[in-house]
Chain A
Amino acid sequence: MAERADDRLVRLLGLVAFLDGHGPAPVAELAERFGVSERQIRDDVDQLWVTGTPGYWPDDLIDFDADAVERGVVHLTNARGLTRPLRLGTREAVALVAALRALLDSPPVQADADRAQLVRSALAKLTAATGEAASAVDVRLAHATDPEVMAAVTAALAGRRRLLIRYVTAADVVGEREVDPARLLTQDGSAYLLAWCRRAHGRRTFRLDRVLAATVLDAPVDAALVAAVDVDVDVAASVAGDRLAPEVTVTFASRARWLAEELPWEELTELADGAFAMRLRVANPAWLHGLLLAAAPMVLAVDPPDVAVQVAESARAALAAYGVS
């Protein structure tokens, strides 16, 4: 896909300002710094070479030392006044400041004083530079986690050590397992530990508020296993299901609309009166069972029907425990 013109403009302006302040730089270093390919940097240089002030005679144009470019070094010789880095736009400042504030306030950062200090100083320097409150957006990440568990998990990640956890599954079964932690995903709703599980011999996602206890072990993690596990993952999808899991379709009344953004559905069908049918793949029946019990007043139908029968039976058993019919 072609790059957006405004993204490219920001990089072109950035390249000139950086080279003006820093001096000649190898193409490879520029590619690394601006997060693009070396080919892109060369294209950017070619683009800059033909831009300048009206008239566009040789002296009007941004210019480079052509011999240096041949050798793979970008040496700016005429910046045409673009010597200073561009300030942040309002939207950019808002997005970055809000992200830093959320990070600073998050449990994994608060669990370690040095880490919190580092985020605080980055935030202070950034707000000094943006010169505005940038408080239009206010984000808070998940908090409901035992601080001791959080401290152990972040210490194991930082020290690349194995972790012993006591974990209760969605089916309410408690067990101990040794895991090689790869990543701590702190979301706005919940926090998850992504790890290689030595008991299951596979990659597993653990919801942190279901980790009852965590102990950092002396053994180092297996770097190869962690690397295999540590890929960007859609937690919601990995928690609820996979490609081979059975399909269930739940029809909700319109007031359950918010569930549509909470659940990893496969397909959403709009029905009359704002009702909607949500098709889910469910690897974990206990999870769906719990969801249907909790959301029952908003559920209009469940397909296949035997799922509804099981849920209704367990609800009747629960009502008997309450002495209610």
Chain B
Amino acid sequence: MSGDLSTPEPSSPGVPPAERLLNLVIALVNTSASMTKQQIRRGVAGYGDAPSSEAFERMFERDKDTLRGLGVPVVTVDAGGHSDDVGYRIDNEAYALPAVDLTPAELGVLALAAQLWGDKSLRTDTSRALTKLRAAGSAEAEEDALAGLAPRVRAVGDAYGPLLDAVTQRRVVRFRYRAASSGVLAERRVEPWRIAARGGGWYLVGRDVDRGAPRVFRLSRIEGRVRVGAVGEAFEIPAHVDVDAALGAAGQERTAVLAVVPERASAVRARAVPAVPPSGAVPLGRDVVAVPFTSVTTLAEELAAYADAVVVLEPAELRGEVVRLLQAAALLDSVPEVPRG
């Protein structure tokens, strides 16, 4: 069935890519020292399909990147002074997964964790990882311990791949970014430190090169492609990156005092803490409810949605923000119709 591949066929139908890649792995695992590109082109089944030297180069470079991406340690061996003598082999020490003695329940945990990602590319990464762990001979997964749990993180989008490569290889990235406050689109250069998901959004935390300071970027506001710099290890990532501090999620906790119509806003009441008597008057027929909060914006949006069922008494900053939202809403029936397009 193997056929005589010493005189390979010049073109398609040819060898399927998975078979060619597998043949390359086996060849580079078994080579005594290393193989040059020419030895690979002549000897490894699948590469003889390349109609020209250029086509072979492209095919081999792509396959090499694919293998490295999958964790196969393809290393370059410089055998002599001539570039023709550059050889390739697989580092057999670095190839193997260290022993992972997973119990069935632990493998069940990994299987559940693999379902976390809403993104196809992240799901692909985790399912490959699981295939490798299953090949290591662990017992079958057992998922009873976490029955009924379904963690999910929404899809991150196309920026994830290049940004992750940039973080792990410490390369500067460039992208066009629409600022949250002004809506202005501008080019940004960033040393990326962390990719983070919080509260339904994906973020990049890093150092804005032009502003010379740490910044947070919402991935959904990146427009177009992320371009990754050519130079690796171009900067240092701080030993401790506090994503929550960068996002302002760890702001100081304060207490809001609200006047709530009886029986209303039960979801807000569920978070109530003992109330201090408010300094001003309480509207007649309302309950005083105190709730802790960290973000004025977030709480104001939640409370505005209750309209007249909830009135903010304190602090003034929160009261002012809710009034601002309500004043905008009060004008909604007078805005001109925008043509649809």
Binding site for B on A (CB under 8 A): 4-15, 17-18, 21-22, 32-35, 47-58, 60-62, 80-82, 84-96, 99-100, 102-103, 106, 108-109, 114-115, 118-119, 121-122, 125-126, 128-129, 131, 135-142, 146, 154, 157-158, 160, 168, 172, 174, 181-190, 194, 209-210, 212, 235, 249, 251, 253-255, 257-258, 260-262, 269, 271-275, 277, 289-297, 299-303, 305, 308-309, 311-322, 324
The contact sample of 10 A-B pairs, CB cut-off 8 A, is A21-B136, A54-B27, A84-B97, A88-B132, A102-B116, A138-B195, A140-B198, A172-B306, A187-B153, A294-B300
Binding site for A on B (CB under 8 A): 1-3, 5, 16-19, 21-23, 25-27, 29-30, 39, 43-45, 66, 68-72, 94-102, 105-107, 109-110, 112-114, 116-117, 122, 124-137, 140, 145-154, 164, 167-168, 178, 180-183, 185, 194-201, 218, 220-221, 243-244, 263-267, 270, 283, 300-302, 304-309, 311, 319, 322-338, 340-341
B109→A119 contact, CB < 8 A: yes
User: Which 6 residue pairs spanning A and B have beta carbons closest together?
Assistant: A157-B148, A14-B135, A189-B200, A290-B305, A89-B71, A315-B329
Given known contacts A6-B69, A293-B305, A294-B301, A186 and B97 CB-to-CB distance under 8 angstroms: no
**Nearest Cβ in chain B — how far from A149, in angstroms?**
9
A99→B148 contact, CB < 8 A: no
4 further contact pairs, Cβ within 8 A, besides A6-B69, A136-B164: A96-B113, A137-B195, A184-B148, A209-B267
B283: A residues at CB distance < 8 A: 321
A160: B residues at CB distance < 8 A: 147
B265→A131 contact, CB < 8 A: no
**Nearest Cβ in chain A — how far from B91, in angstroms?**
11
The interface residues of chain A, by DSSP majority, are classed as helix
Chain B residue at minimum C-beta to C-beta distance from A194: B150
**Nearest Cβ in chain B — how far from A124, in angstroms?**
10
B140→A33 contact, CB < 8 A: yes
B168→A90 contact, CB < 8 A: yes
Given known contacts A302-B332, A308-B332, A318 and B308 CB-to-CB distance under 8 angstroms: yes
**Bound state CA distance, A8 and B26, in angstroms?**
15
A295: B residues at CB distance < 8 A: 301
**Bound state CA distance, A269 and B339, in angstroms?**
12
A85→B135 contact, CB < 8 A: yes
A311: B residues at CB distance < 8 A: 329, 332-333
Given known contacts A5-B16, A18-B135, A186 and B98 CB-to-CB distance under 8 angstroms: no
Given known contacts A94-B168, A188-B197, A319-B327, A9 and B22 CB-to-CB distance under 8 angstroms: yes
Chain B residue at minimum C-beta to C-beta distance from A5: B17
A186→B152 contact, CB < 8 A: yes
**Nearest Cβ in chain B — how far from A172, in angstroms?**
6
**Bound state CA distance, A55 and B8, in angstroms?**
12
Q: Which listed residue (B185, B264, B332) contacts A315, Cβ 8 A? A: B332
B199→A189 contact, CB < 8 A: yes
A7: B residues at CB distance < 8 A: 124, 127-128
Given known contacts A85-B96, A91-B69, A108 and B149 CB-to-CB distance under 8 angstroms: yes
Chain B residue at minimum C-beta to C-beta distance from A275: B338
**From B96, B98, B152, B332, residue with most partner A Cβ within 10 Å:** B332
B195: A residues at CB distance < 8 A: 136-138
Given known contacts A158-B148, A269-B341, A297-B324, A100 and B97 CB-to-CB distance under 8 angstroms: no
